[in-house]
Structure 1
């Protein structure tokens, strides 16, 4: 089981805050540092100050300011960017990092953040998914086109004239692609077609297991032979004792009983047991949502008292 740190910087964080977590996670031996791709904070208990940071500008900085840890998004929103420029951006950051980027990609869902920053938001979920599917075809197609050959695409929403499909990422034939969500039909099908990893975010163990099985079925139905990694994301709230767990829950505006039911909360032993259950369901990687970026001791506790028990 690989543990990865997952940040929500739209809740209020500078680049320096994110870099501090990334360096601590790297020093402590965590497998990867991922961040969300949002432009507006969520919930009434936070102000969002000093304001949002762009996911891929942040990852470009982290690519140069770290050396080992893998870097990615859960999930880049298809509504934020055109597919051709996005393929260029991710390929460039992959090269800047020495081949450490992973590309989590989703259809986009948070309508309010689009409204406040003037980003078009298709009203129907069907159109968003249609555009998202075309973007997946384009981005993976651009990366996969052999050097010296050209790429052309004719879709309903996007059309690319024949071009050189450059630049190429450092990782060949492409950075790993992550697709997530619990949609019952299109999401498993798109994951089977395009993804190297399927992620289930913030769901119960039972719902996560069911979503994994739907995607396994889609993989079998597609005739795919390439391996698929399965992962889950859960909020983290660990403590050496109940008082420490309660303090951390209060800092993020949550209640301990609710976190125990809906996340990874409690003592290191409780976390080991809970993570183990996700492992039994098929999860190979756990994304630990860290909502208090100033609490680097939280990461140290997991690295010293949870990780050794998972080996």
Structure 2
């Protein structure tokens, strides 16, 4: 119930009778803070926020100091509460549910209503409310960096996100936690994919996967460091050259100059050396740079083209 001590937030016409937290029809207000003696700790003035019956019944700790932190808290309660419903979208597509022939009173009902349950739950946890203001004065002071956001959903923390996927998809929590430590939270999607492919593991199987991923990361780091070193060694006087929509990068031109490669016949003789040298780029990328170098050397056969288009012509004359 709205208290006169708490000012009601401004509600846009399109969101009248709407819960600010989940988008469901509002039936009550949440007063923030929960009691008057906590007002001095609040980052903005005390407010009353429209909420649906479920959101208004969720308790929250006294250390919440702004409306946005309260929203994150309530969202994560809903995420945990409806993890199984949200997990439908993690484990199925709508078409798969249509195509799968569920039968029986229980499974048949699931097949008919599962996707609708997922969409309702997803819509609620994804709802972002509207910009907060009181008497048309905007409320500020929220730290958007806090929490952990993945796939459009903001969690209170990385651990909260891992807990959610454990409930929603049945992944091995210990595996996902350790994988994230190895590949870093920025690549959470990669860690999650591996975890989804490896459920119900034994201790030794889990260790084998972690060891393999750690080795891959170490090898990739060495490749990246080598690539950065090579990049720093490129002669800055050499420029990339575009020929027929392909790029002959500066490093490949520098390689050709250092090897004395002056034409396509020379390049063909050094083809294996080229791909050994630039193996760290990966097959497709190495081929693209080789193709660009081929086109560049072919173009250089035309003296007029060299005069008009080759920024590196002086280097070839040395």
Name the TM-score class by shorter chain. under 0.3
Structure with max Cα Rg: 2
TM-score by length of 2: 0.22
Q: Which has the higher contact order (CA 8 A, sep 6+)?
A: 1
- Bigger strand share: 1
